[in-house]
Amino acid sequence: MASPKSEPSELLSRRKLLQVGAGGLAIAGSVAGWQWLQARQFGQSARIPMMGRKESKAEESTSPMQVLREFDYGTVKQENGRTIREFRIIAGTSPLRLNSATSYITWNYNGRVPGPTLRAKAGDRVRVLFLNKGGHAHTMHFHGIHPDTMDGVRPVSNGKAFIYEFDAEPYGVHLYHCHISPVTRHIGKGLYGMFIIDPPEERPPADEMVLVMGGYDLNDDRRNELYAFNALPNYYMRTPIQIYQRQQVRLYLLNMIEFDPAVTFHIHANFFQVYPTGRTLTPAYETDVITMGTAERHILEFAYPHSGKYMFHPHQDAIAEAGCMGMFDVLPITS
C-alpha cells in the first residue's frame, strides 16, 4: 500500500494536471462526446437527450447541466494486477452567482459545486491526489470503508497535498466532503461531492443523472436562506432536465443541506423505486416522497409514461420556494 505523502508541488504541478487533463480527465469542464464515452466505458446505452449548454456568463464556474450527467471515472491504471483509479482534486475558492442579487464565495473541489462525481467499481483501488489551493485548511473525507489514516479528518494546509488511497467498498452511492471544523461552514460553502461505487455486475442501462441538494447560509445565522439542486437555485426550473418518455432514469440523489435536519424529495405525477444508499441491486420499495437526513443518498429509478413537464422538489415547501425546485421535460417518443 502506498503511504500518504505531502509534497504538493511535485505531485500535482499545474503542468502535470494539464497533461492529465489533455488525456481526458474531467477537471475543468467537459468535451463533446464525453458523456457518450462515459456511457460506453461501462457498456451502457440509453436514450439521453443532447442538451445545449446555454450558460450565462455569471454561471460559467458551475454548470448544473454539467454536474447532472458528468461522471469522473479517473485515470485507470493497472498496478500489481489491480485496477487503480486515480483522481485529481484541487480545493479552491471562487464566486458563484446564485441569483441576480446574490454572488456567493464558494469553497469548492475542482472549481465546481458540487465537486466532480467520482466513480469507481467495487474492488478498484481508489487514489485521490488532493491539492489544497483554497486558502484555508481543507480535507477530503470519504464515506465508505477505509483505514483511519485515509479518513480525511487530518487538516491539509493551504498549499499542501495529500494522497488518499483505499479500496472502493462497499458498492453504493456515497459522498465525500471536507471535514474541517466547523464542518457546517466547509460543507455549506460547497466542499462536497458524490462518490459512486458501481457493483461488480453492472446495473442495467438507464439515463443516469446526479442531483445534489444543497443550502446556502448567506448571513451566518446558521439557517439557510437559499437552496438548490446542483448549486444554482431554481436552475432546473428555468432549464428543465430533458428526458425521454418511457426511458428508465437512474437518479443518484444526495442531500447535503446543513442546518435542516432532514428534507424530502418528491417527483410529480409518478412513483420511483428506491435503492437505499445504492446498496441493493433490486429496489426495496416504491414511493413518491422519500425523507433524507443530511448526507443520506439513494438511487431512485423511474420512467415517465406520459410526456410533458413535471416538477421535482422537497416537500418542505419553504425549502422548495427558496430555490430547491426543478422540472423534468419529458420528450415524447413515437416508437
Q: Is 124 exposed, middle or buried (0-12, 13-18, 19+ CB in 10 A)?
A: buried
Cβ at position 185, least distance to Cu ion in Å: 8
Stretch that binds Cu ion, among 20-28, 29-37, 185-193, 265-273 (CB under 5 A): 185-193
Cβ at position 154, least distance to Cu ion in Å: 12
DSSP reduced 3-state for 244: strand
**DSSP of 114-161, one letter per residue?**
S---EEEETTPEEEEEEEE-SSS-B--EEPSS--GGGSS-S-B-TT-E
Chain Cα centroid distance, residue 66: 10
Binding footprint of Cu ion, residue count (CB under 5 A) = 5
Cβ at position 175, least distance to Cu ion in Å: 14
Q: Is the dihedral of CA 263, 267, 268, 272 positive or negative?
A: negative
Q: Which is nearer to Cu ion, 154 or 268 (CB)?
A: 154
Binders in 238-297 for Cu ion, by CB under 5 A: none
**Using the rule CB under 5 A, which residue among 129, 150, 180, 251 binds Cu ion?**
180
- Contact pattern for Cu ion over residues 108 through 147, marking x by CB under 5 A: ------------------------------x---------
Cβ at position 217, least distance to Cu ion in Å: 15
Nearest residue to Cu ion, using CB? Answer: 178
- Contact pattern for Cu ion over residues 190 through 219, marking x by CB under 5 A: -x----------------------------
For 95, the grid coordinates are 464566486
Cβ at position 141, least distance to Cu ion in Å: 10
- First CA to last CA across the chain, in angstroms? 53
Stretch that binds Cu ion, among 55-63, 188-196, 257-265, 297-305 (CB under 5 A): 188-196
Query: For residues 307, 283, 42 and 240, what is the CA-based torsion angle, rounded to 10 degrees?
Result: 30
178 binds Cu ion (CB under 5 A): yes
Query: How many angstroms separate the CA atoms of 288 and 267, rounded?
Result: 6
Stretch that binds Cu ion, among 33-41, 112-120, 121-129, 172-180 (CB under 5 A): 172-180
Spatial contact of 177 and 193, defined as CB atoms under 8 Å apart? yes
| Alpha-carbon separation of residue 321 from 59, 169, 190, 237, 330 (angstroms) | 21, 37, 21, 11, 23
For 96, the grid coordinates are 458563484
Q: Which is nearer to Cu ion, 92 or 326 (CB)?
A: 92
Cβ at position 102, least distance to Cu ion in Å: 22
Q: Which is nearer to Cu ion, 176 or 229 (CB)?
A: 176
Closest C-alpha to 30, from 80, 85, 70 = 70
- Chain positions contacting Cu ion, by CB under 5 A: 138, 178, 180, 186, 191
